[in-house]
Amino acid sequence: MGLSQFTQWCECKISSIAPARALYSFLYKKAVMEEIELAEVSESDNVLFIGGGAVPYTSIYIAEKCNKITVIDCNKCCVSKAQSLLKKLKVGNIEVKNVDGQDYDFSPYNVIFVPLQAEPKKEILKSIALTADREAKILIRAPKASCKCYTPIENIPAKLEKFKKLKQITFDKTFLCRAKDIKA
């Protein structure tokens, strides 16, 4: 089992265990707040998150700052767990869809989050470059050098505008660019 499958499995297990879910989400809170600041997410933004998993903690934090956020995930089980969780938590402004980020129409969104485990990065970014608004803000989490199973930031085909340094187990920076800066 790879790291991505392990995360999927863990999230599916803990999505219905409140204390474990709360601790897991809390571990990422500071980093997500920094990312929200980096993207300057505001009320009027229409945000998309690619690969929300069964415990879409990043999107739950972002949803507190914007009108609406759409979460897509290519795994059916994660989508149904996330939908049940959001219903239980009474979070009304997050929509979860069972879709792959490699083949999606990104045109309605002006802020798009591309987390570490959303892969393959090149295909996802190509799809963003082809369909998103040119000025849409794209956030990309960069893996630590020790995390070899994810696309290294040097291989991302984009001119990266600015970044925030973060302290997480698997990623240590999140970059911001515009859709127009991605080379499709």
Q: Which residues contact 113 (CB under 8 A, 6 or more apart)?
A: 35, 47, 48, 49, 50, 58, 62, 139
CB of 6 to ligand SAM, least distance (A): 10
Read off the tokens for 40.
């300057």
CB of 65 to ligand SAM, least distance (A): 15
Read off the tokens for 89.
């938590």
Q: Which is nearer to ligand SAM, 5 or 67 (CB)?
A: 5
Which of helix, strand or coil describes residue 118? coil
CB of 103 to ligand SAM, least distance (A): 9
CB of 150 to ligand SAM, least distance (A): 10
Q: Which is nearer to ligand SAM, 135 or 141 (CB)?
A: 141
Closest CB to ligand SAM: residue number? 51
CB of 97 to ligand SAM, least distance (A): 9
Cα distances (Å, whole numbers) of residue 75 to 50, 54, 71, 159, 162:
11, 9, 12, 30, 31
Contact set with ligand SAM (CB under 6 A): 7-8, 11, 50-53, 55-59, 72-75, 78, 100-102, 115, 117-119, 124
Q: Which is nearer to ligand SAM, 72 or 140 (CB)?
A: 72
Q: How far apart are CA 13 and CA 174, in angstroms?
A: 27
Q: Which is nearer to ligand SAM, 113 or 137 (CB)?
A: 113
Q: Please choose, from the candidates 94, 103, 177, the residue with its C-alpha nearest in 3D space to the C-alpha of residue 136.
A: 177
Q: Which is nearer to ligand SAM, 122 or 180 (CB)?
A: 122
